[in-house]
Structure 1
Amino acid sequence: MKLYTVKRIFPLLLCMLIFNSCDDEKMQWGKIGGEITAEEIPLELTEKIERYDFIKTYAAQYTPQMCIGIGLSANLYNTDEEYKQVCDDNFQLFTMGNAMKHGTVVRDNGELNFTTIDKFFNIIPEDKQIYGHNFIWHTQQNQNYLKKLVVEALGNEGEDPNPPTPSEDNMIVNGNFETGNTNGWSGWGNSSSNKLTQDGSYGNILTLTNPTDGSTSHSAQIAYKISGTFEMGATYTATFEAKAQQNGKIQIALQKDSEKDNYPGEGYKDYDITTQWVSYTYTHTIKTVADMDRFMINFGLTANTYYIDNISLVKNSSSGESPEPDPEPDPDPILPGVGNLLNESFENGNNGWDINPGKASDGYSLESVEQADSPDGNKVLKIYQNGLLQIKTPEIPVGKEVVVSFYIKGEQEANVSIAFLNGVIENQYAQITGTNIIKSKIAVTTAWQQVTFKLQDSKGTMFKDGVKQWTYILDFGRIKGNTYYIDNVQITDPSVTATYTTQLKYTQNATPRAISSSLRNNEKIQTALYGAMENWIKEMIKHCGKRVTAWDVLNEPINDDLGLRGVDNKYASGDSEPTGSTASDLNLNWISSAGNQHFYWGYFLGKEYAVKAFQYARKYANEQQTDAKLYINDYNLESNPNKLKELIEYVKYIDEQNGSPIVDGIGTQMHVNVDLKKSQVDAMFKTMASTGKLIRITELDVAVKTTTPSIEQQQSQADTYLMIVESYKENVPEVQQAGITIWNLTDSKKEHEYWLNGDAPNLFNADYSRKIAYKAFCDGLAGKDISEDWEKPMNK
C-alpha cells in the first residue's frame, strides 16, 4: 500500500482558507511565545487532529515491535500535573533529559545523588519503560571529581623534589602542621570545624569545613595569634598553599584580638580556591589599625571544605627606613592595564557601567548601594527594571584568553542574557559557556551565585584583528518591576602567566607545557578513572534495576570533523588539549555550558575506554538480571555519512575488542529541520541497518526556524516528521526497529530555554494542543491516513 502523504492536503487547506472566511469556520492556531501570523488551521483539520487517539494507542496497534518514547524534563514531570498527564497518555518510553547524567548525579566527592531520579521513578506508571541517558559523554560529566582523581593519581610526579621550606623568620610557628597539632590556631562560627588530615606527600594539612552557606566570608573563621603585634607602617608577606573540595572562596586578613574594640582589622583579600593545590601570596602594609596580633582565614561564604598547608608569614623590613613596598597584588590575575576598571566592589559608584543606548524603558535605575550580604565589600550595583533593559560594561582591553566572572542575584527569579557590542568575532550574540551559563543565558535566582564565562575560539582569541577594547551587555529582557544586584566583577587573562599573583605549586613563572604521552597513558590515572567509571555504571544500574530497559552507554564519541573525541585530539568547540606536566600545573582547558563539566575520558584512557564502558554495563545489567539493551549514540548522522561510517567502525572495534558483540544498538539523534532531504534519511537508515544492530531514533525534533510558524511551515514540519517515520519503517527491518523518541514534549518556552529557544520543533503547542505534526506522526506509524477509515463524516 502506498503510504499516505500529508502534502496531499495542502492545496485543500489553501482553498479552505480562501472560501471559509467566517470566524466560526476556523480555529486559531496555538500561540507560541508571541503573536501568531494571520493564517490559521481550518476547523475541519483541527477537528480531525483532536479526534485522533493517543500516540501510544497507534504504536501498540501498528508498530508493536518498536517503542515510542519522549525525551522529557524530570523536574517538569515531577511538578507539573498537566505535563505529566500528556506524557503518560501518549508515550511508552521515557528518557530523562538531564537527571541521569554524570554531572547531575555525581557529587564532587564521588557520591551519587539519586533524589530527582527516585522522585521520578516513584510517580511514573508501571507500564512505562526507561531509556538510561547516559553513562559516558564528553560533557555533563563532573569534571571537579574526575580531575581530582587524575591529580591524586599523579601525586608529586614531576614536582620539585626540593620544595621551598618555611623561612626561619616565619611568624607562624606551626604553619606546616607537621607537629601533629593545631597549637596556636583557634576556629569558630557557623558550626564549622578544623582538624588535621593527611594528603599524600603533603603530610599533615589543615582541613576547614563550613557545613552551610553563610552571609559573609567571616561567618566561619580560623585565626593564628602571633607573638607580639604587627608594626604600624611595616609590610608583611604571607604565602600559603590551598585547595578545596569544590571551587570556593576564602578571605585573608590581619586583625586585633580584642572584643572590647570589636575585633578591628585591615588588609582583607579574597582568594578563589580551586580543586587543585595552588600557592598564593598575600602582601599588606599596616595602615590604620594598631596592635593587631592575629592572622585570619575566613571561609564561611559557601558550604565547602578547604585544605591549607605550608603557611608562612614574614615581615619584609624590620627596622630603619623601609623600602617602597610593592603594590598589593590583586587576589585574581587582572588583564594588564585593566586594574580595577570594572570596579569589582562598586564601592565608589557605578564606575562606567551604564545603559545600552536606546535599550531601556522609562523608570529604570542603576546605583551603588550598601548591601548586607554583599559577596565583596559593602556595596553592590543595584539595577531596577521597569520593562526593556540592557546595561553595558566599561570598555575592556582584549586578551588572548578572557575570563569574566561576577556575582548576581534578583529579588525575583528571571533569565538574563549576555551579548557583545563590539570587538568580538562572530555575531554580537556569540555562544559562550561557563559556570551557571547555558548558551549565553543565566538563570538568576534570589540567592547570590557566581557566573563565570570564557571567551576563546579555536584560533586562540575571540577578538577581531586590530581591536583593542571590547564591551559586553547584560540583557534583562522586558520584565516589569524586578531588581537585580551585581558585585565582585573580575576580568582575567589566564594566558598571561607572568602577571599572576597566584601561581601553581612550585611552578612560579613557569610556561605551561602540553601533557606528555607518558602522563596521557599513565597507569595510575587509568586505574583511578576506570575505577570511577565502573563504580558510576555499577551504582546507576544497581539503583535503577529493571525499570531501565536500555542504556545510552556512549554518547557522541565522534567529532564533527571526524576522529574520536579526546582520543585523536578532537574536542568540542572552545575546548583544547590540556596543558601542564604535573599534578600541580594540570589544566584541562575543558569548559562547558554548565561550568566545569567537560571531561574527555578517551584523552587519558585511549579508544578502548568505550570497550570498558560497555563491559561494565553488560556485567552489572546481568547481575541485576535485566536484559537492558546497550546503545551507542551520535548526531548529524543523516547529514554526515562519513561520521556515520566512522561511528560504525568504532562499534566494530568495540565488539572485536570485547571478543564478541556487546553493542546492542545504534542511536541516531536526528535534530533536523524542514529542509531535510528524504534521500539523506534513506541512505542513513540503510547504512545503519546493514550493521544488523538495533536501530533507534533517540532524540527527534524538526525545527521550523521560527517560534511563530506559518501554516506552510507547520505543514512542512508535518511532512518531515511523516517522511522520517516512513523512511525508518521502509529501510530498517522490523526485527531491528527499536523505536523512536521525540525530544521534548511541547513548544513551550520553559522546555526550550536552552535548546532550540528560537524555534517550535515539537508535536504539541505550548498549551498542549496537538499540531499538524501530531497527526502526521500517527499516520506514519499507521502507514496510512488514519482519518480516512472513519465511517462518520466530520462536521460540515
Structure 2
Amino acid sequence: MKYIKLLPILALISLLVSSCEDDIMEWQDRAEENKVTTAELPLELAEKITRYDVLNSYTDYVLGAGIIMDRYTSNDVYRNLVNENFDDVTVGYAMKHGAMVNAQGEINFEPVDNFMALANEGGIDVYGHTLVWHANQNANYLNGLIAPTVIPGSSGPNSLDLSGLKDNSFNGWGLNNPGDGITIVENEGLTGDSQAIQLIASASSSEPYNLQLATPDISVESSHEYEISFYIKSDLTGKGRISFDANVTNQYPYKDWYNTGGEFTEAFETNSQWQQVKFTVDDIKPDATTFKFNFDLGYLPGVTYLIDVNNISVVDLDAEAETVNLITNGDFESGTLDPWTGYGNSSTREVSAEGAGYGDTGYAMVLTNPTVAQSYEAQQVYEFDAPLEQGTELTFSFYIKAETASSIQVEFQSPDYSADYSGAIEVGTSWMQIVRTITPSVADRGKFIFDFGESATTFYIDNVVLTNGEVSTGTDPIIIEKTDEEKEELIGGAMEDWISQMLTHYKSEVTAWDVVNEPMKEGGTLRDGNVADQAADDFYWVKYLGEDYAVKAFKLARQYGNPTDVLFINDYNLEASLAKCDGLIEYANYIESQGATVDGIGTQMHISLDTNRDNIVEMFNKLAASGKMIKISELDVRLGTASPTAQQLADQAAMYQFVLDMYRENIPTPQQYGITLWNVSDNADEHEFWLPEESPNVWDANYERKHAYKGVADGLAGRDVSEDFTGELED
C-alpha cells in the first residue's frame, strides 16, 4: 500500500486509483455532524439490510478484511465486527519491514505476537502482508548496510616517512627478509585505487622473521606515548606481529592488536578482509631519539599479505596540538608556489633556492616589485576552494624579510574586489614574524592577497599560516564505496534474514503471504528503483538485486515456510492499466522460469464509481488465463466525499456487487482464492492517512451497515439475498 497524504476532495475524486497504506490511528468519537449514517436510505431498504446475515456466510472462498492492528487489539466493537463477518485479516502496516525491524536489523515480534494470539481466540486467520516491497521499509537500516565504509584518519600528524613506499624506492625501509617478494602494487589498497605493500611468505616460511620489512628511523620523544596503526589483509588466513629495535624496552610485545578490548597476544591473525591493527607504545628508552619497527609476517607459509600504504601511521599522542592551516602551501617545501598566483606592475614571483627559507632551511616565496606603485598594483594571491566564514575572526602569521626596509599589506578579497584589509605592515631586512587578525565582513571573501606594490624591493616570505583556531586531528578519514557485488551480497543477506525469520516465526499462524508487493510501473515494466523523490522509508530491493529480486524472495519464502503456503505477487491499478496487468502476469511467469513458484496474483482494486467496468472484466479474464489463484486483495470503492447522498450510496453498492459478480463469473472456481475488503468502516479515525474525508467502505462512520453491505452480500451470494426474506417490511 502506498502512503497517501491529505488531498482536497476534488483531487480525490479525480484519482483513477492509487496503491494504499494503512497506519496506526487512535480511536476516538467524532462530532455527530461529520459522521456518515444510513439515515438517507429508504426505510424498507434499511430494514432489508438489517436482516442480512454476516458477510462470510454468503461465500465459500476466503473473505478478508484489511485492518489496523492496534484498533483490533484495543477496541471490542471493531474486533467483534471483524470476527463475525470475515475469515481472515490483513494487517495494513504492522507486519511490514519498517514496523518490525529496528536500527540494528533485529525484529521485534512481540506486538504482532500479541495480536496473533487475540486473532486466534476470535477464530480469525492472518494473511501475511507484506514481505518485499519498496515502501514502509526500515530504509535507514538497509541503506546503512550499503553505506560507504568510513576509515577514520590518524589521531594526529604522521611521524613515519612514507615517501620511500609511495615512490616505490623503499628508500629508508629495510627489506630484512623478503621471503618470496616485498613490492609496491598499484590499485590494491583500501580505496581500490591506492597503493599497497605486497609481502609474500615463502613455502618454507615458519618463523615470524622469515618475512620482515623494517620502517625507517622515526624521530621520537622518549617520554611520549605513540600510536601505531595500519590496515592489513591476506589471501589466506595469516599471522603476524610487530617487533621493535633496541630503542624500545619490550621489543616483542604482546598487544591487543585490533584494539578490541580483548586479551593481549603475541601475534594477530589476518584474513581476506581489511582489518586495522592499532596499538600504543610507551616504553621508549630514556636516551632514545628514534625507534623503528618491523612487520614480521613469516609465521605461515605461502600467504600473501597486503598493507595499505597511505594508512601506515605513527602518531605522537603527547605532542602539542597543531592548528589547522587554511593555506595548503604556506611553507613552500614542495619547491613550487602552486596554487599561489600573482600579477601587476611587472612584478615577479618564484621559489627561493633551497636553504633560503626562514632559519636558513628549506624554501621561501620570493616576490619582487621593480618600481614604486600603489600597494594593490602588485599582488600575490591564494584563492580558497570555498569563501571564508563571515564573522569568524581569523589569525594569519608569516615570516618575512626584504632587501630594503619597506611595507606590505594583507587583504581578504571578494569577486567584486571589495576587501577587508590589515593595513600597512612594516618589514625590515631581517626575518621577522608577523601575526595579525582579520574578520571577514561579508560571505564571499575568497582570496588571501599580499599587496606589495608600494616598495621597489624583493620580499622573502615563509611559513604562511591562516587559522580559525581549529586544531588538527591528523589525516582526513577515508571513504570507501562498496562495489555493486558487495551491495548485492549485503542486501540479499538482509532479505534472507528478514524472510527467514518471518516465515519461521509465523509458520503455524500464517499460511498465505504477499511475498512481493507492487513490483510494476504503470506501463507494465518492472520498477528499477531509480526514483528521484523517495519517501524516508522507501527502499528498492530491485535496485541492488536486479530483476531476480522477486525470484529470490519467492524461493526464500518457499524454503522457510510451509510447503503448502500460498504465495502471492500483488499490485494495484491492474483494472486501470491493462498493460500493467499484462506486465505483472509476464513477470510472474519470469519468476517461475527461474525456478521459483508463484501460487497466486493479487489485484488490489482501489476503485471509484467512474472505474471502467469493461476494463474490470478484461482484467479478470487476463488473470484467469494465468492459471493461478486470483485474489482481490484490497477492495474499496471511494465516492469522493465523507457525506454521500442516497444515490451515491446506491451506486457504490452496485459497484461492489458488480466487482464480486465479475470475479465469480470470470475467475474459475478453483482459482478463486478470495476477496479482502480494505478497512472496515468510514469512521474518520480509520482514514487518517488512507482516503481521508472519504466513505469507501461497507460500514458507515457509526459502524452501521451501509447500502454497500447489501451489494457485497449479494455479490458474494450471486443473487439478491433479500428476495428470500419473509414477513412484512415496515413502511
Please tell me the TM-score bracket, short chain as reference: 0.5 to 0.7
- Structure-2 change in CA distance of 1:552 and 1:319 (3 Å): farther
SS of 1:794's equivalent in the other structure is coil
Deviation at 1:108, TM superposition (A): 1.8
CA distance in 1, matches of 2:552, 2:441: 53
Which deviations, in whole Å up to 9, do the C-alpha atoms of 1:710-731 show, x marking residues without a partner? Answer: 1111111111101000000000
Aligned residues between the structures: 442
Q: Is the Cα contact below 8 Å between 1:722 and 1:776 reproduced in 2?
A: yes
- Structure-2 change in CA distance of 1:229 and 1:41 (3 Å): farther
Deviation at 1:285, TM superposition (A): 6.7
CA distance in 2, matches of 1:159, 1:38: 70
Q: Which protein is bigger by CA-based radius of gyration?
A: 2
- Structure-2 change in CA distance of 1:54 and 1:176 (3 Å): farther
- Structure-2 change in CA distance of 1:678 and 1:561 (3 Å): closer
Which deviations, in whole Å up to 9, do the C-alpha atoms of 1:526-575 show, x marking residues without a partner? Answer: 22222211121110011111211211000000012332112xxx55xxx2
1:121 aligns with 2:116: yes
Deviation at 1:39, TM superposition (A): 7.4
1:530 aligns with 2:499: no
- Structure-2 change in CA distance of 1:235 and 1:153 (3 Å): closer
Q: Is the Cα contact below 8 Å between 1:747 and 1:762 reproduced in 2?
A: yes
Give aligned-pair identity as a percent: 37
Superposed, 1:257-272 pairs within 5 Å as none
Q: Is the Cα contact below 8 Å between 1:235 and 1:283 reproduced in 2?
A: no
- Structure-2 change in CA distance of 1:678 and 1:203 (3 Å): same
* Alignment match of 1:324 (pick from 426, 438, 444): 438
CA distance in 1, matches of 2:57, 2:655: 22
Counterpart residue number, 1:613:
553
Counterpart residue number, 1:377:
none
Across the aligned residues of Structure 1 and Structure 2, the Cα RMSD in angstroms comes to 4.3
Superposed, 1:326-725 pairs within 5 Å as 519-520=483-484, 522=485, 524-566=486-528, 571=530, 575-576=531-532, 591-592=534-535, 595=536, 597-622=537-562, 627-658=564-595, 662-725=597-660
- Structure-2 change in CA distance of 1:107 and 1:152 (3 Å): farther
Deviation at 1:57, TM superposition (A): 2.0
- Structure-2 change in CA distance of 1:603 and 1:40 (3 Å): same
* Alignment match of 2:144 (pick from 137, 148, 173): 148
1:747 aligns with 2:709: no
Which AA in structure 2 matches 1:547? Answer: E
CA distance in 1, matches of 2:389, 2:501: 44
SS of 1:697's equivalent in the other structure is strand
Superposed, 1:131-170 pairs within 5 Å as 131-151=127-147, 158=191, 161=194
Deviation at 1:51, TM superposition (A): 1.9
1:92 aligns with 2:87: yes
SS of 1:631's equivalent in the other structure is strand
CA distance in 1, matches of 2:576, 2:118: 38
- Structure-2 change in CA distance of 1:505 and 1:653 (3 Å): farther
SS of 1:135's equivalent in the other structure is coil
- Structure-2 change in CA distance of 1:67 and 1:203 (3 Å): same
Deviation at 1:38, TM superposition (A): 12
Deviation at 1:678, TM superposition (A): 2.1
Deviation at 1:149, TM superposition (A): 2.2
Q: Is the Cα contact below 8 Å between 1:641 and 1:684 reproduced in 2?
A: yes
Provide the TM-score with structure 2 as the length reference.
0.54
- Structure-2 change in CA distance of 1:793 and 1:505 (3 Å): farther
CA distance in 1, matches of 2:543, 2:477: 24
1:70 aligns with 2:51: no
Which AA in structure 2 matches 1:556? Answer: E
Which AA in structure 1 matches 2:48? Answer: K
CA distance in 2, matches of 1:761, 1:768: 13
Which AA in structure 2 matches 1:614? Answer: F
SS of 2:129's equivalent in the other structure is strand
Counterpart residue number, 1:784:
719
- Structure-2 change in CA distance of 1:176 and 1:122 (3 Å): farther
CA distance in 1, matches of 2:35, 2:558: 51
Which AA in structure 2 matches 1:679? Answer: D
SS of 1:608's equivalent in the other structure is helix
Deviation at 1:648, TM superposition (A): 0.7
* Alignment match of 1:203 (pick from 272, 276, 280): 276
Which deviations, in whole Å up to 9, do the C-alpha atoms of 1:658-684 show, x marking residues without a partner? Answer: 0xx610000000000011232111110
Deviation at 1:736, TM superposition (A): 0.3
- Structure-2 change in CA distance of 1:644 and 1:32 (3 Å): farther
Q: Is the Cα contact below 8 Å between 2:49 and 2:705 reproduced in 1?
A: yes
Q: Is the Cα contact below 8 Å between 1:235 and 1:285 reproduced in 2?
A: no
SS of 1:547's equivalent in the other structure is coil
CA distance in 1, matches of 2:391, 2:319: 17
- Structure-2 change in CA distance of 1:644 and 1:36 (3 Å): closer
Which AA in structure 2 matches 1:665? Answer: G
Q: Is the Cα contact below 8 Å between 2:393 and 2:439 reproduced in 1?
A: no
SS of 1:651's equivalent in the other structure is helix
CA distance in 1, matches of 2:673, 2:389: 61
Structure 1 residue runs without a partner (length 5+): 1-29, 180-193, 207-225, 238-280, 288-317, 330-335, 338-503, 509-514, 577-589
- Structure-2 change in CA distance of 1:36 and 1:85 (3 Å): closer
Q: Is the Cα contact below 8 Å between 2:98 and 2:136 reproduced in 1?
A: yes
CA distance in 2, matches of 1:38, 1:618: 46
Deviation at 1:634, TM superposition (A): 0.4
CA distance in 1, matches of 2:278, 2:506: 39
Q: Is the Cα contact below 8 Å between 2:35 and 2:702 reproduced in 1?
A: no
CA distance in 1, matches of 2:35, 2:118: 36
CA distance in 1, matches of 2:190, 2:390: 30
- Structure-2 change in CA distance of 1:115 and 1:37 (3 Å): closer
Which deviations, in whole Å up to 9, do the C-alpha atoms of 1:475-494 show, x marking residues without a partner? Answer: xxxxxxxxxxxxxxxxxxxx
Which AA in structure 2 matches 1:662? Answer: T
Counterpart residue number, 1:361:
none
CA distance in 1, matches of 2:276, 2:507: 42
Counterpart residue number, 1:256:
none
SS of 2:676's equivalent in the other structure is strand
1:110 aligns with 2:105: yes
CA distance in 2, matches of 1:690, 1:662: 17
Which AA in structure 2 matches 1:719? Answer: A
Which deviations, in whole Å up to 9, do the C-alpha atoms of 1:449-487 show, x marking residues without a partner? Answer: xxxxxxxxxxxxxxxxxxxxxxxxxxxxxxxxxxxxxxx
Q: Is the Cα contact below 8 Å between 1:132 and 1:552 reproduced in 2?
A: yes
Which AA in structure 1 matches 2:489? Answer: T
Which AA in structure 2 matches 1:668? Answer: T
Which AA in structure 2 matches 1:143? Answer: A
- Structure-2 change in CA distance of 1:176 and 1:69 (3 Å): farther
1:759 aligns with 2:694: yes
SS of 1:151's equivalent in the other structure is coil
SS of 1:554's equivalent in the other structure is strand
Deviation at 1:612, TM superposition (A): 1.0
